Amino acid sequence: MINEPIQRSELLKTLLLWGGRLGNARLRELLGMKVTRVSQIMSEFHSEHPNWMEWNSVARSYRATPAAYRTKIDTSSSLDRYLSLVGISHTQNESSSQQTIWNAFPDISTPVPRVFAQISEAIELSRCIQINYRSMSNPRPHRREISPHSIVRAGRRWHVRAFCSTRQEFRDFALGRIDSPKLLATPAARSADDDHPWNTQLQVRLIAHPRLSQAQQEMIRFEYFSGTAARVERCRAAMVSYFIQDLRAATDTSKQLPPEFQLAVENMEDLRQWIFTV
């Protein structure tokens, strides 16, 4: 996979931009190479792109510079490669050999590499990070200090789950609404262990929408439930609103009607305290 110099350069570029840094130990782990070979590859890459990296003697790794993030890349496919390298699935791509299976829609929610990398590093180091953020309630850029513990793709968007120092609670921050991330020396104010909604597992009971005809309900059960009357899925309480929205499942069957809503959540009373407007 990485025998050709161009392939090696592209691989290291992907790891640098999305991971935020390149270190010998991490590359050995990912590539299965020995110390001297990895050092040689990193040296060659640094010679090719001298302005992209600066040495961090504390972390004993190269850090990505602002110049690295000025390079133009296809962010969606680049992120897909990065997540494949580190063992996480991002999207289901088409078959490269037969091209009979396709991911039909473009991904318009891919985060900016520098934002993704800085937040990933804050999580890895258990540090606070300063960001500029925009929200529906406050759409102008404003400063937040957060302690992130997880990056999540929930439905159509990427989020970071973090403790917000301003609100003094755990919240979800859309990565697409973040800019100017700055890693701080301050230790994280809270960890994932403190995040009760994140650690609470819920059961979501899905049924065919009761306003469908009997034949339509049977068809929905065939499509989603293997013919059974319902399907029960587990979901983190912090993510349950995104899960239900992504399924387009009705939470109020008297107002949310077919054909727009073909599924329904049967046990809403168990979930209601965790539901928020997405």
**CA separation for the pair 51, 107 (Å, rounded):** 30
Q: Is the dihedral of CA 146, 194, 188, 85 positive or negative?
A: negative
Q: Is the pTM of this model over 0.75?
A: yes
pLDDT tens digits along 211-256: 999 999 999 999 999 999 999 999 999 999 999 999 999 999 999 9
Q: What is the DSSP letter of 112?
A: P
pLDDT of residue 158: 95
Domains and CATH numbers, the chain: 5-73 (1.10.10), 113-194 (2.30.30), 200-271 (no CATH)
| Residue 276 confidence class, pLDDT cut points 50, 70, 90 | confident
The answer to whether 181 touches 119, Cβ cutoff 8 Å, is: yes
Residue 277 pLDDT > 90 = no
**Do the bridges between strand 263-265 and strand 201-208 make them parallel or antiparallel, or are there none, so unpaired?**
antiparallel
Instruction: Name the token pair of 38.
Output: 């990895």
pLDDT digits (tens, 9 = 90+) for 133-171: 999 999 999 999 999 999 999 888 999 999 999 999 999
Identify the H or E element spanning 163. Answer: strand 157-164
pLDDT band of residue 106 (cuts 50, 70, 90) is confident
Per-residue pLDDT reduced to its tens digit, 46-76: 999 999 999 988 888 999 999 999 988 888 7
**pLDDT for the residue 95:** 45
The tokens for 210 are 């009761």
